[in-house]
């Protein structure tokens, strides 16, 4: 099998497993307990926090460990919007992960917020000029993802941040897909809040992270014992936090070399598919995209049919966001780009990882060519797919 679905989840790195093991065994304590086992767990948690802070170039005290990237997005959007009394106007984009879109909808339905959406171009890029035109005196938050989970397009965060900074509006970015591939230095990005998810970069599932610049009040989403300095109640997942820190440190060490290698392989992969599959279209920006991400629509097929054919040939990939798997609705990301519903339903996404080899990428390209041809032969134009 060739695994080409790293945007959905990644295998756990050895560095992460080795780092977390002591906190699953001898140092298993609750970090809030005032005895030696609890204090050892607390020390591990704070060491993990310091390690992540170094990678992001931030103060450790401004980091909040969460249970997932989804929770981090919820805490960022709801927490900043409700914790800062500037107004009830929120700006995001129509391409965001459902965690951001659903949080914005929650604020609109239950708290009277007005939500406005940046409109992407055909490549999935949003405009700093449009953002400047939408910001108002009562705008309380702007949230735009760093890189899209379906099409891989990388947003011009620094340009967007200059607009928000000039207006004094907090700027949050969902960086879940960018981690391990793009720089997370928040000073260079210019953002005020950033979300991460451990299982997208080689840590286990069940751990996430939110950084919020210290001067911005953050209303908790979870209430209870007041852990994480009152910003996220619930006993901390110490092994997960330690694993996230170790995985991020390892990814940062190899990031430039791995990104360069995968960019070259992904470029060859897309060129082969576009050159040998009639009617194939790349979705997302051709160049401003994640190094290991390639997504296509194949007219005259069905995304699920292509996935089944690919799996028969040993290729594991997806039709888009894993969170939307099983839905009959076309991707909101692709329809936001202007694709017709029927074409959007033919989407297939390939996301490679640090361990992906040249032979695997070449094998995936051959399998795509064969799979699309097989489906088109079995279901000629005008015949409905089952």
Residues involved in catalysis: 323
CA distance 155 to 153: 6
What does DSSP assign to residue 384?
A: P
Count CB neighbours of 132 within 10 A: 14
Q: Rounded CA gap, 287 and 55, in Å?
A: 25
CA distance 78 to 65: 16
Q: How far is CA 68 from the centre of its chain?
A: 11
Question: Strand order in 293-298's β-sheet?
Answer: 280-283, 293-298, 347-351
280 has which bridge partners? 298
What residue ranges in the chain does DSSP mark as E strands?
Answer: 2-3, 63-66, 89-93, 114-118, 139-143, 171-174, 193-197, 208-212, 280-283, 293-298, 315-316, 347-351
- In sequence order, which residues have a C-beta less than 8 Å from that of residue 114 and are 6 or more positions away? 88, 89, 90, 108
The b/e string for 49-87 (b: 16+ C-beta within 10 A; e otherwise) is: bebbbebbebebebbbbbbbbbbbbbbbbbbbbbbbebb
């Amino acid at each position: 099998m060739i695994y080409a679905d790293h945007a959905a989840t990644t295998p756990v790195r050895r560095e992460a497993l080795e780092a977390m093991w002591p906190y699953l065994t001898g140092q298993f304590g609750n970090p809030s307990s005032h005895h030696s086992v609890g204090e050892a767990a607390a020390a591990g948690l704070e060491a993990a926090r310091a390690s992540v802070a170094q990678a992001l170039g931030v103060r450790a005290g401004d980091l909040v460990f969460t249970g997932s990237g989804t929770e981090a997005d919820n805490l960022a959007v709801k927490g900043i919007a409700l914790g800062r009394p500037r107004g009830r106007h929120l700006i995001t984009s129509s391409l965001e992960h459902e965690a951001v879109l659903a949080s914005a909808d929650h604020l609109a339905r239950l708290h009277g917020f007005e939500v406005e959406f940046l409109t992407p171009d055909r490549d999935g890029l949003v405009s700093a000029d449009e953002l400047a035109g939408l910001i108002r005196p009562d705008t309380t938050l702007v949230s735009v993802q760093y890189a899209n989970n379906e099409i891989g397009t990388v947003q011009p965060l620094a340009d967007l941040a200059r607009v928000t900074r000039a207006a004094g509006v907090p700027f949050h970015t969902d960086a879940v897909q960018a981690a391990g591939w793009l720089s997370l230095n928040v000073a260079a990005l210019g953002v005020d809040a950033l979300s991460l998810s451990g299982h997208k970069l080689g840590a286990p599932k069940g751990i996430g992270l939110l950084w919020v610049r210290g001067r911005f009040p953050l209303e908790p989403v979870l209430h209870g014992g007041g852990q994480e300095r009152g910003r996220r109640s619930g006993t901390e997942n110490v092994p997960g936090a330690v694993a996230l820190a170790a995985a991020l440190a390892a990814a940062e060490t190899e990031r430039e070399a791995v990104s360069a290698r995968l960019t070259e392989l992904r470029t060859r992969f897309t060129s082969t598919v576009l050159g040998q599959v009639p009617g194939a279209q790349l979705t997302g920006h051709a160049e401003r995209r994640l190094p290991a991400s390639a997504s296509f629509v194949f007219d005259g097929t069905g995304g699920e049919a292509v996935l089944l054919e690919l799996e028969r040939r040993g290729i594991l990939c997806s039709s888009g966001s894993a969170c939307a798997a099983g839905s009959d609705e076309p991707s909101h990301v692709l329809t936001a780009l202007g694709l017709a519903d029927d074409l959007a339903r033919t989407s297939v996404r390939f996301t490679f990882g640090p361990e992906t080899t040249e032979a695997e990428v070449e094998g995936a390209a051959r399998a795509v060519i064969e799979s699309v041809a097989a489906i088109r032969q079995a279901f000629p134009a005008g015949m409905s797919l089952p």
